[in-house]
Structure 1
C-alpha cells in the first residue's frame, strides 16, 4: 500500500508544523500547503466592553502586542486552543463553550448578555453567526477586525496533487481555506481537475459552515469533524481514508 497523502492548510507558522507532525504521527504523509497568511490591521479591541470575545491564537497574540487592557470585561473564547493562547498572552479566560463553534458560544452567552456591551475581536472573515446571534440575544455588539486573512503566494501544491490523482485526503479548517484552495487551483489552471480529483480523496472539514461552503463550490465532503479542533479533524480524516492504515 502506498503512502496515504493528506493535505493540510494551516497558516505557515507553528500551526503548520504541528499539523505536519500530527499527520506524520498518524502514519500518513502530510502535504503542507498554507492557504492562510495574516495581515494585521493595527486595530485593538475596545476597553469598555462587558464581554470580549477572542476567536483565535493570532488574535490573542495581536491584542497582547497592542497592550490591550480588558478591564473588568468577561473574556470569552471559541475553544480550548484559543483559551490556551489567551492565557499565554497574559489574560484570564472566563468562558469557553462546550461546543467549540460560534453557535456554541452564542448558546452559552445568550441568556446573560441582554443589554450588555459585547466586543468581538477577530479576523475579517469571521462568521456572521456570532454577531447575529449575540445581537438577537439583546447584546450591543461591536466588532474589531484585528487582522486580514489572505492567500499566500505560491500556495496550490495540494491542488496540483489532487488534479493528478495523487492526493488521498484533505483537511479543510475553514470556509476560507476552501475558497483559497480553489483560487490557488484556478491560478495554476487546474481548478476543475482538482475538484474532480477530490472526489476520489477523503475530504474532512472542521464544521458545518465549512461543509456548506465546500458543497456549494462542488467539493464532495466525506466527514465533518465530531469536535471542531484540527486534531480531531486530522485523526478522523485519516481514519476515514484508510480505516486499517495505522493497524
Structure 2
C-alpha cells in the first residue's frame, strides 16, 4: 500500500528572505506539502559601510573573542574583512558554526541550545571575564541582551553592526494572491518576520509555527496562536515539529 507523505495536502507559508527560503521550501515539498514563499525580510550591508570596514579593521586586533549570532553575520562580516583572524570564536548555533567552517574558521564555543541567553551561560562557565574582551558581530535588529549580560558579568564588550534587516516590499497583487489561498500553517523564523507579517496581513485565524522561544514571544505578543515551537531552534527542528503536529492532528481525526 502506498504510504502518504506526512505533509501531503498541507500548504505551509514561509516568511524567510528569498535567499534563505529555498531549503525550507524543498524540505516541505519532499514531505508532500506545498510551500508558499512570502519573503518578508531582506538583508543588506549597512549604509555606512566604509566606516564599518575601518572599525572592523581595528577591532579584530583589539578583542580576544569574536561572537557571531547568525549565518548572516558571518557572511556579511567576511564580505567586509579580508584578513586572517587572530581571535577565538564563539557562535550561537550549529548553522552559524557551519558557516564559519565554510570560511575556514572553527567556533571554539557553541552553547548547547541556540540562543543568546545560552551563549551567556557558556561564557560564564568557560571564559574568565577578567582576561577576555568580546566583539559582537550582529545585525541592526539584534536583541541587546547578549551585550547587556556580558557587560554585567564584567566582560569588555563592543558591538558592530555588519548587516541590516529591512522589510521586503510586497506588491498588492502578491498580498491579494496569498490572502485568497487556503493556508494550513504560517511559519516565523525571527521576530522581524512576525512584525512584517502583521503589518501586511494583520491577524489571521491560522495556526502558527515558530523556530524558537524568542520568536514565539514576539508572535504571541502580536496576537497569533502559536501551536508549534521546537526544542531544537533550527529549520530541521522546526520541520520535525511540523510533521509531528500534523501527524497528531491526523490521528485525532481517526
Q: TM-score, normalised by structure 1?
A: 0.85
Where do 5+ consecutive residues of structure 2 fail to align?
1-6
Alpha-carbon distance in 1 for matches of 2:171, 2:82? 33
1:206 and 2:211 matched:
yes
Equivalent positions of 1:28-107 (< 5 A) are: 28-41=33-46, 42=49, 43-44=52-53, 45=56, 46-47=59-60, 48-69=62-83, 71-107=85-121
Aligned equivalent of 2:196, options 180, 184, 196:
180
Residue number in structure 1 paired with 2:157 = 141
Deviations 1:191-240 (A, max 9, x none): 2xxx2322xx3x11111111111111111111211101011112212431
Structure with a larger share of its residues in helix = 2
1:197 and 2:205 matched:
yes
Asked whether the equivalents of residues 13 and 183 of structure 2 are also in contact (C-alpha less than 8 Å), the reply is: yes
| SS across alignment from 1:231 | helix
TM-aligned CA distance change 1:58 to 1:196, over 3 Å: closer
Residue number in structure 2 paired with 1:217 = 222
Residue number in structure 1 paired with 2:168 = 152
Deviations 1:154-183 (A, max 9, x none): 178897577557110122111111001112
TM-aligned CA distance change 1:183 to 1:230, over 3 Å: same
Residue number in structure 2 paired with 1:24 = 29
Deviation at 1:70, TM superposition (A): 6.4
Aligned equivalent of 2:183, options 167, 177, 180:
167
Deviations 1:58-78 (A, max 9, x none): 221222222354643210110
Alpha-carbon distance in 1 for matches of 2:133, 2:243? 42
- Greater shift in the superposed pair: 231-240 or 142-151: 231-240
Deviation at 1:243, TM superposition (A): 3.4
Alpha-carbon distance in 2 for matches of 1:239, 1:54? 31
Alpha-carbon distance in 1 for matches of 2:69, 2:122? 15
Alpha-carbon distance in 1 for matches of 2:38, 2:182? 14
CA RMSD of aligned residues (A): 2.5
Alpha-carbon distance in 2 for matches of 1:96, 1:6? 31
